Structure 1
Amino acid sequence: MSVKQLCNNYQENLNLMQRALRVSASFDIVSRKIQIGSKSACLFFIDGFAKDEILEKIMEFVMKLKPEDLPPQLIAFEQQFIPYVEVTLEKEIEAIVTQVLSGTIMLLLEGYDQAIAIDARTYPNRSISEPEDERVLRGSRDGFVETLVFNTALLRRRIRDPHLTMKIMQIGQKSHTDVVMCYLSDKADPAMVSMIEKKLKAVEIPSLTLSQESLAECLIKKHWWNPFPRFRYTERPDAASANIMEGKVILIVDNTPAVMILPTSFFDFIQDTNDYYFPPLVGSYLRIVRMVVFLLTLFLTPLWYLAVKNPTLFPDWISFVQIEEMNSVPIILQLLIVEFIIDAIKLASLNTPSALNGSFSVVGALILGDFAVKAHWFVPEVLLYMAFVSIANFTQPSYELGYTFKLFRLLFLILIAFLDVWGLLLGIILMLIIIAKTDTITETSYLYPLYPFNKQKFCQLFLRQPIDKSNS
Structure 2
Amino acid sequence: MAEREEMLSGKLGRNFQENVAQLDKILAAGICFDVHSRPLEFGQKKIQMYFVDGLVDSTSILDMTRILSMVERNDLVPATLHKLVQTYLSHGQVTTEAALDKIASHVLAGRTAFIVEGEQEAIIVEARRYPARGPEEPDLEKVVRGSRDGFTETIIFNTALIRRRIRDPKLRFIMLSGGKRSKSDICLAYIEDIASPELVADIKRRLEKLNIDGLPMAEKSVEEMITKEDNAWNPFPQVRYTERPDVAAAHLLEGHVLIMVDTSPSIMIAPTTFFHHVQHAEEYRQAPIVGAYIRWVRLLAIVASLVVVPLWLLFSLHPGLLPKALSFIGPKKIGNVPLILQFLIAEVSIDVVRMAAIHTPSPLTTSLGLIAALMIGEVAINIGMFAPEVIMYMAIAATGTFATPSYELGMALRLWRYLLIILVYALSWPGLVLGVLALFVFLARSRSFGVPYLWPLIPFNWTALKAILIRYPVPIQNSRPSILKPVDTDRQPGQSIPIPSRKPQFGKGEKEENEKD
Question: What TM-score, normalized to structure 1?
Answer: 0.97
Equivalence map 1:7-156=2 (5 Å): 7-73=13-79, 74-156=81-163
1:154-184, Cα deviation, whole Å (9 max, x unpaired)? 0000000001011110011001011111001
Residue 218 of structure 1 aligns with which residue?
A: 225
Q: Is the 8 A contact 2:111 2:127 kept in 1?
A: yes
How far did 1:225 drift?
4.5
Give SS of 2:452's match: coil
Within 1, Cα distance between the matches of 2:118 and 2:126?
22
How far did 1:224 drift?
5.4
Q: Match for 2:152: what amino acid?
A: V
The CA RMSD measured in Å over matched residues stands at 1.4
Of all paired residues, the percent bearing the same amino acid is: 37
The one of 270, 274, 277 aligned to 2:278: 270
Give SS of 2:30's match: helix
Q: Match for 1:306: what amino acid?
A: L
Residue 346 of structure 2 aligns with which residue?
A: 338
Q: Is the 8 A contact 1:51 1:121 kept in 2?
A: yes
Q: Match for 1:132: what amino acid?
A: D
Within 2, Cα distance between the matches of 1:50 and 1:353?
33
The one of 422, 425, 428 aligned to 2:433: 425
Within 2, Cα distance between the matches of 1:225 and 1:309?
33
How far did 1:64 drift?
1.9
Within 2, Cα distance between the matches of 1:118 and 1:237?
29
Give SS of 2:46's match: strand
1:269-300, Cα deviation, whole Å (9 max, x unpaired)? 12111111111111111101100111000000
Q: Is the 8 A contact 1:368 1:383 kept in 2?
A: no
1:288-321, Cα deviation, whole Å (9 max, x unpaired)? 1100111000000000111111111121121222
Within 2, Cα distance between the matches of 1:155 and 1:29?
33
Residue 212 of structure 2 aligns with which residue?
A: 205
Give SS of 1:49's match: coil
Residue 239 of structure 1 aligns with which residue?
A: 247
How far did 1:471 drift?
1.7
Within 2, Cα distance between the matches of 1:358 and 1:261?
34
Within 2, Cα distance between the matches of 1:173 and 1:112?
28
How far did 1:220 drift?
1.6
Give SS of 1:55's match: helix
Q: Is the 8 A contact 1:144 1:236 kept in 2?
A: yes
How far did 1:266 drift?
1.2
Q: Is the 8 A contact 2:219 2:261 kept in 1?
A: yes
Within 1, Cα distance between the matches of 2:16 and 2:173?
36
List gaps (5 residues or longer) in structure 2. Answer: 479-489, 493-517
Q: Match for 1:411: what amino acid?
A: L
List gaps (5 residues or longer) in structure 1. Answer: none
Q: Is the 8 A contact 2:111 2:124 kept in 1?
A: yes
How far did 1:367 drift?
3.0
Bigger radius of gyration: 2
How far did 1:433 drift?
2.3
Q: Match for 2:49: what amino acid?
A: L
Q: Is the 8 A contact 2:176 2:185 kept in 1?
A: yes
1:295 paired to 2:294: no
How far did 1:252 drift?
0.6
Residue 379 of structure 1 aligns with which residue?
A: 387
Moved segments of 4+, more than 6 Å: none
1:435-465, Cα deviation, whole Å (9 max, x unpaired)? 122111x222111111222111111111011
Within 1, Cα distance between the matches of 2:290 and 2:363?
38
Question: What TM-score, normalized to structure 2?
Answer: 0.89
1:255 paired to 2:267: no
User: Which segment is superposed worse, 367-376 or 232-241?
Assistant: 367-376
Q: Is the 8 A contact 1:270 1:461 kept in 2?
A: no
Q: Match for 1:81: what amino acid?
A: Y
The one of 170, 194, 202 aligned to 1:195: 202
Equivalence map 1:152-163=2 (5 Å): 152-163=159-170
Q: Is the 8 A contact 1:211 1:255 kept in 2?
A: yes
The one of 338, 343, 357 aligned to 1:349: 357
How far did 1:226 drift?
2.6
Query: Across the two proteins, how many residue pairs are aligned to each other?
Result: 471
Q: Is the 8 A contact 1:226 1:434 kept in 2?
A: no
Within 2, Cα distance between the matches of 1:39 and 1:76?
13
